[in-house]
Amino acid sequence: MVITGGAGGIGRALVERFTREGARAIVVADANLAGAQAVADEFGATARQVDSGSEAGVVALIDFATETHGPIDVYFSNAGVGGPAAGPETPDEEWDRLWRIHVMSHIWAARKLIPVMTEAGGGYLVNTSSAAGLLIQPSAMAYTVTKHAAVSVAEWLSMTYAAAGIKVSCVCPQAVQTALLDEAMGQTSGASEVVAAAGVLQPEDVADAVIEGMRAERLLILPHQDVADRMVYRATDHEGWLDMDETLAFYVDLLGCEIVTDWGWQVGTDVADKITALHDCSARSVMLRKGNAFIELFQYTSPEPGPGDPDRRVCDPGLTHLCFDVTDLDEEYERLLAAGMKFHCPPQDVAPSVRTTYGRDPNGNVIELQQVSDDKHRIAVPWLPERGLAQ
């Protein structure tokens, strides 16, 4: 068998697990040859350098594996990259790079292998997509779009070539503790512990789910169970699912919050009706983390929400405002203003070392941005690293 992206993370765990399962021969392929070689040496496999983003590279890899070990029974197209935290402004070269690595690599492998596997009476093609390929990764458009296409490639191949004996699986994990996740999270200390509490799997957990899923010959292999629940929510209430994303984009893309959990419940969940004092309620809940604060957003889709007033007065009863402590108020104000956030006024001096302004999130909730430049000031927030406490 061949495993691409095998130099680390999920790929390495797959090599280890398939070795234990008794795979006859494994070719560990990666752009990082030294990494692939180290994994191959550890598990008695063969290393090969490949650029999965090039058809010539994928074809040469398949030829090499076939010449070295005989026909390929399982081709695991797992290599992937994080891509930029950006939307349509992502440069074309990045779109192209992600498209090649996350989509075309699977197609090129299928183009080369399906005739051979059909001739041999069968074979197994697996690709690693992501939960982002079934749902949405709010901050990363190119990653989301290309991973969606990867799911589609697997579905299409599965449906079309089942009769020829070609089995297809597509692995869609959520967060997994690998270099790719560390890069995506900007490696803030403490963040991984928080996300771990919310369900980061280890690469070995994904490998276990893969073995189980391939034994059952399942098209979608979902190592995180709540991804299936969220797919149901997305399918049954697509508008509700999408509505939330404008607000999420504000908190994640503009304010830099990270998503810790994302789930929802359907009509008929008695305990939710009891807690909310609503009848037949359904909602999506997203827990966000920013520094040492957690914010939980809810989007109720049932009962039909009443009209809100995006300009409601801050003195009206309810949550009056959320305050974010910033280190450069003018810079943050200009950045958010340019991104379309509404403010009541430009930054104001409210005390010798305290400046502040109020604005609104997309739902009219009041967001205060505050800068306290004197660490000894009585309202200075003590969690900033320079004030001696970990963020």
Ligand X SMILES: NC(=O)c1ccc[n+]([C@@H]2O[C@H](COP(=O)([O-])OP(=O)(O)OC[C@H]3O[C@@H](n4cnc5c(N)ncnc54)[C@H](O)[C@@H]3O)[C@@H](O)[C@H]2O)c1
Pick between residue 182 and residue 325 the one whose CB is nearest to ligand X. 182
In the complex, the smallest distance separating the C-beta of residue 294 from ligand X, rounded to whole angstroms, is 21
**Contacting residue, 175, 209, 221, 341, with ligand X by CB under 6 A:** 175
32 binds ligand X (CB under 6 A): yes
141 binds ligand X (CB under 6 A): no
7 binds ligand X (CB under 6 A): yes
Letters for 81-100 (x = contact with ligand X by CB under 6 A, - = none) are x-------------------
Strands (E) across the chain are located at 2-4, 27-30, 46-49, 74-77, 123-128, 166-171, 220-221, 258-265, 282-290, 293-302, 322-325, 342-343, 348-351, 354-360, 366-372
Give residue 199's region: left, alpha or beta (phi > 0; psi -120 to 50). left
Pick between residue 52 and residue 90 the one whose CB is nearest to ligand X. 52
- Give the span between the Cα atoms of 236 and 121, in whole angstroms: 39
**Burial group, residue 154, by CB count within 10 angstroms (0-12, 13-18, 19+):** buried
Letters for 177-196 (x = contact with ligand X by CB under 6 A, - = none) are -xxxx---------------
**Contacting residue, 37, 90, 128, 299, with ligand X by CB under 6 A:** 128
- Give the span between the Cα atoms of 115 and 166, in whole angstroms: 10
101 binds ligand X (CB under 6 A): yes
**Contacting residue, 27, 37, 45, 51, with ligand X by CB under 6 A:** 51
Written as six digits, the tokens of 208 are: 């276990």
Pick between residue 34 and residue 162 the one whose CB is nearest to ligand X. 34
264 binds ligand X (CB under 6 A): no
- DSSP three-state, residue 153: helix
26 binds ligand X (CB under 6 A): no
Nearest C-alpha neighbor of 158 from the set 194, 185, 125, 202: 125
**Total number of residues shown for the chain:** 391
Tell me which residues touch ligand X (CB under 6 A): 4-5, 7-11, 30-32, 35, 50-53, 78-81, 101, 128, 130, 173, 175-176, 178-181
